[in-house]
Amino acid sequence: MSRPVSLTRRDLLEVGAVSLLGLTAADLMRAREAPTNNTRARSFGRARSCVVIFLWGGPGQQDLWDLKPDAPAEIRGEFRPVATTVPGTQISDQLPQLARQMDKVTLVRSVTHRDSEHGSAAYTALTGHPHPLPGTNTPTRADDFPTYGSVVTKLRPANRAIPTAVILGPVMHQGPRPPVAGQNAGFLGRSYDPFRVAEDPSGADFQVEALQPAVGVTAERLEDRRALLEVLDRQARQLEALAGHGLTAHQQRAFELLQSPQTRRAFDLSAEPAALRERYGRSRFGQALVLARRLVEAGVPFITVNWEKQNGDQWDTHKRNFGRLRELLPVFDRGLAAFLADLHDRGLLETTLVYCLGEFGRSPRINADAGRDHWPHCYSVLLAGGGVPAGAVVGASDRFAAYPSANPMTPGDLSATLFYSLGIDPQTHLTDPQGRPLPVSPGRVVAELLE
C-alpha cells in the first residue's frame, strides 16, 4: 500500500487556486503521487498531542497581544507595548515572562466571527463550528457538534490505557444557566466524552476522584501513597473479574483507567519537584498546566485547560478592565511562560500543539464603566509547537484592533489547522443522528500557520 501524500504549504495555497477550476484537495494529492515525488508536508501529523488553553470570558486583544499605542486614550487603554525576543513584535507590558518566550510561538491577530454571546461563541471556540443558534446561551443538546477532544477520541484514540482526551477544570456555566454547549461529545454519545478533572490541582490534597478507591478507605491510609497504590491495584483486580460481564462503555473506560499505572502516575502531581511547580505558580491555572505537561509526557493526545473563575475572576471585563487584568495577567503570564519553556526544554514542544484562545475579544472603545465589552469581529490567539512557525505574527488588525486588515481567519480555519497538525484530514466526516455527513471542520487549513 502506498503511503498517503500530505500537502505542503505551497500545495495548500494551490488548493485555493485549483478549486476555482472545479478540482479538490484530493485531486491535487493524487496528482502529487508520482513515484519520483518525495515532497511532503512536515506539519501534517507532527503534533502527537494538543493542549487547548481556553480563557473563558474573552480577553482583550488590545491589552494582551495587539496593543495600539498610537490610538486615542479611550481605545489604547492603560497598558503599554514592550519588546519581545522576536525583533519587531511587541506584547503587553503586563506579560514580561511571555515576552521572553515569543520566539517559540505564533500570534494570530486577525481571528474573526460574528457571535457576541458567551455560550454560543464558546461552542464555536471549542468545536470550530458556528452554533446553530448564534447569540444565545443555549445549553448542551444531544445534537451538538462534539468538542475537539471527542472528535480526536473518535478518529485518533490513544493506543494505550490512558485517556485520549482530558479536560482540566470544572464544567463551564454562564451564570446560573445550565452548562455551556461545546464541552462534551454531543451527537457522538457519552462514551466519547473527555475525561474531566474538576478538582483543583493547586490544592494540598489534590486527588482525581475518579481514580480514587471506594468509600470506606480511611484518610490515614490515603496519606500513605504506597498503601493507596495497593488499594487501587486490588480494586483493579476486582474490576478485572467483572470485565466482560455487562460493563457499559463508561464502566469499561473507568476500569481501564483505574488499572493503568501509567494513568495514575500521570495525575500524580506530588512526583513533581517543588521548585518546578513554583515556576508555574501555585495558582489553579499554573498547576493545571503542570498537570497538562505530565499528560503530554504520558502520551495523552488531547488536553483542554479551562480558565474558569480563577481566584473568583474570569476574562469577562465589562467593568474595571485594567484593575482586573492586573490581577489576572500575572497568573496567566507566569503559568503559560513556564509551560512553554518546560515543553521546549524537555523536547516536547516540537510535537505538542499549544492553542490559547478565548471565545472572542473585547471592544476597542473603553465603556463608561472603564471596561471593554464583547467583540468577535477581530481578536488574537496564540499558537505554539506541533508544526507551527516559531516567532511569527500572522494576520493584522486595523489601527484600533477592531477589524482584520490582513489575512482574516475564522475559528473554523483554526480548527482545520489544528486537526491537520494532529494528522486528521479536516474534511473527514462524522455522521450526526439524522444521518447527515458533517466535516470535522468547516474551515480551511491556514498555510501560513504551518512550517
DSSP readout, 315-380? S--SSSHHHHHHHHHHHHHHHHHHHHHHHHHTT-GGGEEEEEE-S-EE-SS--TTS---EE-SSEE
For residue 141, pLDDT over 60 is answered with yes
Distance of CA 411 to the CA centre of its chain: 12
The helix or strand, by DSSP H or E, that contains position 306, with its residue range, turns out to be: strand 302-307
User: Which of 117 and 23 is assigned the larger pLDDT?
Assistant: 117
Confidence check: pLDDT of 328 > 90: yes
Which residue type is seen at 439? P
- How much is the pLDDT for 209? 80
Crossing angle for the helix pair 225-242 and 249-259, to the nearest 10 degrees? 140
- 167: which strand partners? 196, 304
Whether the pLDDT of residue 119 is over 70: the answer is yes
pTM, two decimals, is: 0.84
Q: Decide: 430 and 418 in contact? Cβ < 8 Å.
A: no
Q: What is the pLDDT of residue 176?
A: 81
Question: Where residue 227 falls among pLDDT bands split at 50, 70, 90?
Answer: low
pLDDT score of 47: 97
Work out the pLDDT band at 15, boundaries 50, 70, 90.
very low
Length of the chain: 451
pLDDT band at 11 (very low <50, low <70, confident <90, very high): very low
77 pLDDT above the threshold of 50: yes
Residue from 261, 264, 246, 141 nearest 195 by CA: 264
What is the rounded distance in angstroms from the CA atom of residue 159 to the CA atom of residue 174? 36
DSSP3 helix / strand / coil % (the chain, rounded to 5): 35, 15, 45
Residue from 290, 295, 299 nearest 341 by CA? 290
User: Could you give the strand order of the β-sheet that contains 392-394, starting from the edge strand earlier in sequence?
Assistant: 195-197, 165-168, 302-307, 49-55, 352-357, 379-384, 105-111, 392-394
The answer to whether the beta carbons of residues 61 and 311 sit under 8 Å apart is no
The CA-atom distances, in angstroms, between 386 and each of 103, 147, 349, 424, 429 are: 14, 20, 7, 13, 23
* Cβ-contact 306, 353 below 8 angstroms: no
CB 283 within 8 A of CB 331: yes
Residues 6+ apart with CB under 8 A from 169: 196, 197, 198, 288, 304, 305, 306, 307, 308
Residue pLDDT, tens place only, 44-64: 999 999 999 999 999 999 999
How many CB atoms are closer than 10 A to CB 433? 11
**Does residue 72 have a pLDDT over 50?**
yes
Joined together, the cell numbers standing for residue 70 give 498610537
C-alpha cell at 226: 504506597
* Over residues 176-194, mean pLDDT: 93
pLDDT at 242: 45
pLDDT at 258: 60
User: What's the N-to-C CA distance of the chain in angstroms?
Assistant: 27
- How high is the pLDDT of residue 216? 55
As a whole number, the mean pLDDT across the chain is 85
pLDDT in tens, 30-42: 333 333 322 245 6
Burial (0-12, 13-18, 19+ Cβ within 10 Å), 387: buried
**Model confidence at 193: pLDDT above 90:** yes
Confidence of residue 173 (pLDDT cuts 50, 70, 90): confident
What are 202-220's pLDDT values in tens digits? Answer: 998 898 887 765 555 544 5
CA distance 384 to 344: 10
Name the residue with higher pLDDT: 180 or 221. Answer: 180
Annotated domain spans of the chain: 1-41, 48-205+273-449, 209-266
Given the DSSP bridges, would you call strands 396-397 and 392-394 parallel, antiparallel or unpaired?
A: unpaired
- Percentage of residues of the chain with pLDDT beyond 90: 72
What's the pLDDT at 174? 82
Q: What is the pLDDT of residue 253?
A: 61
Per DSSP, the three-state class of 90 is: strand
Query: What is each CA distance from 98 to 210, 369, 380, in whole angstroms?
Result: 34, 29, 15
* Burial per residue of 354-368, b for 16 or more beta-carbon CB atoms within 10 angstroms, e otherwise: bbbbbbbbbbbebee
Q: Is a pLDDT exceeding 80 seen at residue 177?
A: yes
Residue with grid cell 478565548, as numbered in its chain: 358
pLDDT at site 214: 55
CA atoms within 13 A on the CB side of 262: 13
320: pLDDT strictly greater than 90: yes
Nearest to 168 by CA among 124, 201, 207, 193: 201
The answer, yes or no, to whether residue 68 has pLDDT greater than 70, is: yes
SS3 108: strand
Which sign, positive or negative, has the C-alpha torsion 410, 411, 414, 415?
A: negative
Query: What pLDDT shows up at residue 308?
Result: 72
**Look-up: residue for cell 464583547?**
374
Please state the CATH superfamily assignment of the domain spanning residues 48-205+273-449 in this structure. Alkaline Phosphatase, subunit A (3.40.720.10)
Under the banding of pLDDT at 50, 70 and 90, the label for residue 229 is low
Average pLDDT on 371-400 reads 98
Is 360 a residue whose pLDDT tops 80? yes
| Window from 7-21, 23-37, 346-360, 386-400 with minimum mean pLDDT | 23-37
DSSP 175: T
> Percent of the chain beyond pLDDT 70?
79
Over the stretch 236-280, which tens digit does the pLDDT of each residue have? 555 555 444 444 555 566 566 666 788 888 999 999 999 999 999
